[in-house]
Structure 1
């Protein structure tokens, strides 16, 4: 770090390069931030191996005691976090409640929406904020409905019934249209227009339920969807048929190479083309729209060139775990924080978060929660319920964050040089001993040299 500061002061490193080098170092140094806790007001006793946990005076703090199933963070100020539970409840959190970020703080929900006939009845599957205004957010549930909410009043604004279980939804971050792409148990992708309040279009072609949807951040009419049949389809909703391409894991050249582009302008592709050999439940784009990242139950993550559709052959190794029949929330580091071609992928790997190099798949670090995994919850009514400690959703706020099906929301932050956490009694004692040993060795060498008689012949 000192050398980098010297290079910056002498002009050997420009301000942009300096900023990217520093932010890259911070991105690779994430650690658990246990002083931030989220208390949803529910009480219960954490049970592990049949015995009550003593980690928190036998009573644990839960965001959603039934389990956190989805998270969403508004992207303008990064202030409002909304969480959804497996019990159909919704909670809003103000992340600016903490006055001093360096001190411990327990967040309380500013609003709580409980299950009722007017709200959701079953578990929340996906959450997202209105693309251009944090005043509204969208939720979907296993109760077959998509709902639009007022953030400030925590009040229902509109509800849409799609007639099938909804696994995921997506709304374009750049489009002027207000179309929400919904992935349901039905093999057709449903497009819901928030402006007109109707389901205006269905995109047919998949051979099974839709588990992943993602709009392009560059082209407002381009949509990618993934299905249980292992296919990833690309759509242009302006066209009559909408379908324009399929991703093929055996294609490392791209659609526009080797004469695959016909004279009439149409692209030739294999009918049996598949992105994965198992259900696809994860899709995302890089912020600049250059790459598509897909994930499937074959425990593979693949990176695709969005311009040509070619498989970049990035290999993430055998450590990837992906078994949940639900949409997986993953994201890449924002463009500009790292050098081009050095973006990082944050992947929820069951009980840990993997930070990987997006283009070669190397694992940079593993983010693991502190403490034992929770095997159950014993409520105040003496009833006990099984809970699996699995990461179900992650969101990005510059300092990271994650929620688990165990009902706890954890925060992650980069390690800062010279922070108090880096200096403890044990480390200070070890450093002191090392210095004493080096000093003693130097003294012995000095004495042996000075004590030796030198004769001349």
Structure 2
């Protein structure tokens, strides 16, 4: 167990480097992100604890960060002034690239794990934008049609498909997008009965599984095969049901992340000041004679609770390296914790 204090800055996001087992990035904001500067921390895990290897200050708060998948020293950040900035940790204190097309706070950034040459962002302006680090303008803009723009809290590339993106919004919709088809959703589901959806994540081992979390305190597991089978029309998709649901958090679930090591393990971070580990044991049966999938049973549930934070826990991530089970969490208490989930099982 390790800890680091982001003194004067409240944490919003944390992510392990995809290249180094001992390096983290943390996006933080002064005054809880309401007003003031932001700071990007590059943290190193050492035998003597966590040390700050470098930091970059920004003129507005930072709400998310994502390591580049093609350059080991580059990190993109999402800022409160609507801009996106790309930093190289080997260079000066200034970003090597900056974009500003969003008109409201940028709330998420996610790098393409398959193509690796693009990343996407989502904003309180309701839009999703696709970027290349070598282009001065966005490649594409995605937005819901025939509905008022609502805050798009998160957008994430599928880890199996070069173009498929999932997003979640304040209007309670989980949407799927494929820019090859057009700048409109290819499918959607009214996922949390009117409650804002704050986070989503693709399962790293099951290509059709997505988890969502909401202000309604629940985590829901969705299977795209059931969604697509429900109806070919976008409107009827609203009636699709989750294949599993988790209850236990006392307040909104701000962030969720599937394990990169085990298909059934999910990490969550909540405004109830805890991080929790869940186990999804839902099983499916595939038909050999027709293209259908049947759910055999639901299973799993809460495996453990981490309660060392003293304020909202808003970010979490799994280590890609070493012994399976190490994770990191960050909160508004100015603390980054690195811990082993097996300590709470």
Q: Which of 68, 73, 77 is equivalent to 2:67?
A: 73
Equivalent positions of 1:282-293 (< 5 A) are 282-288=255-261, 289-293=263-267
Q: For the structure 1 residues 182 and 243, does the alpha-carbon distance in structure 2 shift closer, same or farther, using more than 3 Å as the test?
A: same
* Cα drift, residue 180 of structure 1: 1.6
**Do the aligned residues in 1 keep the contact of 2:222 with 2:244 (CA within 8 Å)?**
no
Q: For the structure 1 residues 29 and 307, does the alpha-carbon distance in structure 2 shift closer, same or farther, using more than 3 Å as the test?
A: farther
Task: Give the structure 1 partner of residue 41 of structure 2.
Answer: none
Cα distance in 1 for partners of 2:49, 2:272 equals 28
Q: For the structure 1 residues 135 and 180, does the alpha-carbon distance in structure 2 shift closer, same or farther, using more than 3 Å as the test?
A: same
Q: Which of 306, 310, 318 is equivalent to 1:332?
A: 318
Q: Which of 198, 205, 212 is equivalent to 1:218?
A: 205
TM-score w.r.t. length of structure 1: 0.54
Task: Give the structure 1 partner of residue 154 of structure 2.
Answer: 168
CA deviations 1:94-135 (Å, max 9, x no partner) are: 3354xxxxxxxx343211223xxxx11111100011222332
Instruction: Provide the secondary structure at the position in 2 that maps to 1:91.
Output: strand
* Cα drift, residue 32 of structure 1: 2.4
Q: Which of 246, 249, 259 is equivalent to 1:276?
A: 249
Cα distance in 2 for partners of 1:30, 1:155 equals 40
Q: Which of 293, 299, 305 is equivalent to 1:315?
A: 305
Relative to its length, the structure with more strand (as a share) is 2
Task: Give the structure 1 partner of residue 137 of structure 2.
Answer: 155
TM-score w.r.t. length of structure 2: 0.71
* Cα drift, residue 220 of structure 1: 1.1
Cα distance in 1 for partners of 2:187, 2:310 equals 35
Q: What is the aligned residue count?
A: 269
Cα distance in 2 for partners of 1:246, 1:278 equals 19
Cα distance in 1 for partners of 2:47, 2:335 equals 15
Cα distance in 1 for partners of 2:128, 2:86 equals 18
Cα distance in 2 for partners of 1:170, 1:314 equals 26
Instruction: Provide the secondary structure at the position in 2 that maps to 1:238.
Output: helix
Equivalent positions of 1:49-88 (< 5 A) are 62=57, 64-88=58-82
CA deviations 1:9-63 (Å, max 9, x no partner) are: xxxxxxxxxxxxx99xx566442225x243xxxxxxxxxxxxxxxxxxxxxxx2x
Cα distance in 1 for partners of 2:267, 2:52 equals 28
Determine whether 1:358 maps to 2:341.
Answer: yes
Q: For the structure 1 residues 319 and 82, does the alpha-carbon distance in structure 2 shift closer, same or farther, using more than 3 Å as the test?
A: closer
Instruction: Provide the secondary structure at the position in 2 that maps to 1:196.
Output: coil
**Do the aligned residues in 2 keep the contact of 1:317 with 1:361 (CA within 8 Å)?**
no
Cα distance in 1 for partners of 2:113, 2:191 equals 28
Cα distance in 1 for partners of 2:280, 2:49 equals 29
**Do the aligned residues in 2 keep the contact of 1:232 with 1:275 (CA within 8 Å)?**
no
Q: For the structure 1 residues 317 and 181, does the alpha-carbon distance in structure 2 shift closer, same or farther, using more than 3 Å as the test?
A: same
CA deviations 1:207-236 (Å, max 9, x no partner) are: 211001000001111100011111111111
Relative to its length, the structure with more helix (as a share) is 1
Instruction: Provide the secondary structure at the position in 1 that maps to 2:305.
Output: coil
* Cα drift, residue 185 of structure 1: 0.8
Which structure carries more relative contact order (alpha carbon 8 Å, separation 6+)? 1
Once superposed, what is the RMSD of the aligned Cα atoms? 2.6
* Cα drift, residue 177 of structure 1: 6.0
Cα distance in 1 for partners of 2:310, 2:112 equals 32
**Do the aligned residues in 1 keep the contact of 2:258 with 2:267 (CA within 8 Å)?**
yes
Task: Give the structure 2 partner of residue 447 of structure 1.
Answer: none
CA deviations 1:388-409 (Å, max 9, x no partner) are: xxxxxxxxxxxxxxxxxxxxxx
**Do the aligned residues in 2 keep the contact of 1:302 with 1:311 (CA within 8 Å)?**
no
Cα distance in 1 for partners of 2:103, 2:86 equals 18
Q: For the structure 1 residues 172 and 153, does the alpha-carbon distance in structure 2 shift closer, same or farther, using more than 3 Å as the test?
A: same
**Do the aligned residues in 1 keep the contact of 2:217 with 2:253 (CA within 8 Å)?**
yes
Q: Which of 131, 141, 145 is equivalent to 2:113?
A: 131
Task: Give the structure 2 partner of residue 383 of structure 1.
Answer: none
**Do the aligned residues in 2 keep the contact of 1:233 with 1:243 (CA within 8 Å)?**
no
Instruction: Provide the secondary structure at the position in 2 that maps to 1:109.
Output: coil
